[in-house]
């Protein structure tokens, strides 16, 4: 039997596992995921009776295969579309009607993590959560295979194929410390390290009242404001009780880097003040509660060099995710996972 390992259980990894279940039914797929949940940066939390997507805000209908996947091939029960438009605001906080009123945007009643859950459930892959990969080891010579060691010191493998889904800087670190003496390793470390990321610091704020505005989200068009994005989770069916508001406020890259290690409560208070100013409702400065999250590697600014990806493939090593697609978007990560799943199966 062919043994395949996937490090990371993001949406890209889930899509690859989904393809492999059909295209390589005899392969045994083992997934090691660092965190306690699935779907990585497309992250959902539940608190009290509210559900919110605090990483990726929605899935965009920008890739035919991904649209077909979520609307036809996977269970579409609970898929919810955001009907309200996205408006823009400028550096002074002035709001204007936006540019993408026709763009389709989805989440699920239970949140965006449903995508990875619904993909993995259609596979026989074994997913081990809270199992960070710490060491990658190349074993054998001609028929080289891969072993992984997790943070608890347990060894996994050997595997015939290794798929790496963590964001580029984390993948670069896994390769830098890999027990694999090869010029190819050095080349791959360099290629993955070259992918730069935008940092986003997120505050989620709950209010026990409604706001009366015509938009779902507000994006800072000139990128000069401390806030990059504000959206209303109540526009997603099933997320927020009637008569309430749950704002997701994402700071821009500069603000996020500067405030990353500062007091989360003070950061959240500052972002709530900004939200009140931009939306034009003073009550928003005083949330009932807040939740916070820093995303150091939020969005890749570019993609990894395609030649490096091809060279790794020769060694039975595959990279996958938004940084391989070259676009920091959920649909791009899923589409790349579908491609990589097909490529892995073709090479077996
Ligand atoms: C704040 C924010 C807002 C966003 N907004 C949008 C949006 O509105 N629309 C949109 O389309 N996209 C958005 N995105 C981007 C979107 O979330 C990503 O493009 C997509 O989720 C990336 O999926 P992935 O599979 O490439 O990687 P990830 O989701 O990063 O998955 C990688 C997985 O690897 C795991 N991992 C890391 N290191 C290890 C290790 N050593 N061992 C084991 N596992 C490991 C991680 O825990 C994670 O689960 C946003 C992202 C952020 C952070």
User: Is residue 103 predicted with pLDDT exceeding 90?
Assistant: no
For ligand 1, the distance from its centroid to the CA atom of residue 167, given in whole angstroms, is: 7
Q: Is 164 in the pocket of ligand 1 (CB under 6 A)?
A: no
Mean pLDDT of the chain: 96
* Phi, psi of 264, rounded to the nearest 5 degrees: -60, -35
Which atom of ligand 1 is closest in space to residue 332's alpha carbon? 19
Q: Which of 13, 70, 49, 37 is nearest to 344 (CA)?
A: 13
User: Is residue 40 predicted with pLDDT exceeding 70?
Assistant: yes
Q: What span, in angstroms and rounded, lies between the C-alpha atoms of 214 and 83?
A: 10
Residue from 9, 41, 202, 235 whose mutation best tests the ligand 1 pocket (most atoms within 8 A of CB) = 41
**Stretch 301-308: mean pLDDT:** 97
Name the residue with tokens 């995710």.
321
146-154 contacts at long range (C-beta below 8 A, 24 or more positions apart)? 146/5, 146/316, 146/317, 148/5, 148/7, 148/32, 150/32
Class of domain 3-42+116-196+303-347: alpha beta
> What's the pLDDT score for residue 112?
98
**Stretch 320-339: mean pLDDT:** 98
Which helix (H) or strand (E) segment holds residue 57: the answer is none
Judge whether 3-42+116-196+303-347 and 44-110+197-300 match in fold: no
Q: Is 55 in the pocket of ligand 1 (CB under 6 A)?
A: yes
List the residue whose alpha carbon is closest to atom 20 of ligand 1: 330
Does residue 267 sit in helix, strand or coil?
helix
Confidence of residue 310 (pLDDT cuts 50, 70, 90): very high
3-state helix vs strand vs coil in the chain, percent to 5:
30, 30, 40
For the record, the structure tokens of 237 come out as 């069916």
**Stretch 191-200: mean pLDDT:** 98
Q: What is the sign of the dihedral through the CA atoms of 18, 20, 26 and 29? A: negative
Q: What angle do CA 312, 303, 230 make, to 5 degrees?
A: 140
> What's the pLDDT score for residue 140?
84
Tell me the domain boundaries of the chain. Answer: 3-42+116-196+303-347, 44-110+197-300
Q: What span, in angstroms and rounded, lies between the C-alpha atoms of 291 and 202?
A: 8
What pLDDT digit, counting tens, does each position of 137-158 carry?
A: 999 876 779 999 999 999 999 9
User: Is residue 85 predicted with pLDDT exceeding 80?
Assistant: yes
For ligand 1, the distance from its centroid to the CA atom of residue 181, given in whole angstroms, is: 29
Q: Which of 82, 18, 92, 30 is nearest to 56 (CA)?
A: 82
What pLDDT digit, counting tens, does each position of 199-252 carry?
A: 999 999 999 999 999 999 999 999 999 999 999 999 999 999 999 999 999 999
Which atom of ligand 1 is closest in space to residue 320's alpha carbon? 26
Q: Is 322 in the pocket of ligand 1 (CB under 6 A)?
A: yes
Confidence of residue 107 (pLDDT cuts 50, 70, 90): very high
Decide if domain 44-110+197-300 falls under CATH 3.90.660.10: yes
> What's the pLDDT score for residue 102?
64
For ligand 1, the distance from its centroid to the CA atom of residue 60, given in whole angstroms, is: 15
**Stretch 273-290: mean pLDDT:** 98
Q: Is 330 in the pocket of ligand 1 (CB under 6 A)?
A: yes
For ligand 1, the distance from its centroid to the CA atom of residue 323, given in whole angstroms, is: 10
Name the residue with tokens 């997934």.
31
User: Is residue 101 predicted with pLDDT exceeding 70?
Assistant: no
For ligand 1, the distance from its centroid to the CA atom of residue 256, given in whole angstroms, is: 17
For ligand 1, the distance from its centroid to the CA atom of residue 209, given in whole angstroms, is: 32
Which atom of ligand 1 is closest in space to residue 323's alpha carbon? 26
The proportion of the chain whose per-residue pLDDT surpasses 90, expressed as a percent, equals 97
The proportion of the chain whose per-residue pLDDT surpasses 70, expressed as a percent, equals 99
């Amino acid at each position: 039997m062919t043994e395949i390992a996937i490090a990371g259980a993001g949406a890209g990894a889930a899509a690859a596992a989904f393809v492999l279940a059909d295209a390589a039914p005899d392969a045994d797929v083992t997934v090691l995921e660092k965190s306690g949940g699935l779907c990585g940066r497309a992250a959902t939390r539940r608190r009290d009776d509210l559900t919110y997507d605090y990483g990726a805000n929605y899935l965009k209908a920008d890739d035919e295969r991904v649209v077909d996947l979520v609307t036809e091939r996977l269970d579409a029960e609970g898929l919810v579309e955001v009907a309200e438009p996205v408006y823009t605001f400028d550096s002074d906080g002035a709001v204007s009607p936006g540019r993408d009123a026709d763009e389709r945007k989805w989440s699920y009643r239970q949140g965006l993590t449903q995508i990875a859950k619904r993909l993995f459930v259609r596979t026989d892959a074994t997913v081990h959560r809270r199992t960070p990969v710490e060491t990658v080891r190349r074993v054998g010579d001609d028929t080289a295979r891969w072993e992984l060691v997790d943070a608890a010191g347990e060894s996994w493998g050997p595997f015939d194929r290794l798929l790496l889904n963590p964001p580029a800087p984390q993948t670069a670190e896994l390769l830098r410390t890999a027990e694999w003496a090869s010029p190819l390793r050095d080349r791959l470390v360099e290629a993955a390290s070259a992918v730069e990321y935008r940092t986003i610091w997120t505050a989620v704020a709950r209010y026990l009242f409604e706001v009366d505005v015509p938009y779902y989200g507000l994006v800072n068009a000139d990128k000069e404001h401390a806030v990059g994005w504000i959206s209303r989770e109540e526009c997603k069916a099933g997320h927020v009780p009637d008569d309430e508001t749950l704002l997701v406020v994402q700071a821009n890259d500069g603000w996020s880097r500067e405030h990353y290690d500062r007091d989360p409560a003070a950061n959240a208070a500052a972002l709530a003040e900004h939200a009140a100013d931009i939306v034009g409702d003073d009550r928003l400065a005083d949330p009932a509660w807040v939740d916070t999250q820093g995303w150091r590697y939020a969005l890749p600014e570019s993609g990894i060099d395609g030649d490096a990806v091809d060279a790794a493939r020769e060694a039975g090593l595959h990279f996958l995710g938004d940084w391989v697609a070259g676009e920091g978007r959920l649909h791009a990560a899923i589409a790349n996972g579908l491609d990589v799943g097909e490529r892995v199966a073709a090479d077996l």
